[in-house]
Amino acid sequence: MGFLFLLLFVLFLALASAAGMTADSRDSADWKPSDGGRPWRSRPC
């Protein structure tokens, strides 16, 4: 029963992804923050 639930969950995620209902929230591969797509750098005050 648990395997069936896991399989249905993965299928639901795959269908949602194919329908464009998911989004990638990562800024970059190394998880550094970005500012408009450019690497974020602290600026002096």
pLDDT of residue 15: 94
Instruction: Check: CB of residue 22 under 8 Å from CB of residue 15.
Output: no
pLDDT digit string, tens, across residues 1-45: 999 999 999 999 999 989 988 876 665 556 666 677 677 677 766
pLDDT of residue 25: 67
* Location of structure tokens 């969950």: 9
Instruction: Check: CB of residue 35 under 8 Å from CB of residue 28.
Output: no
Tokens of 22: 């998911």
Instruction: Check: CB of residue 23 under 8 Å from CB of residue 16.
Output: no
pLDDT of residue 20: 86
pTM for the model: 0.50
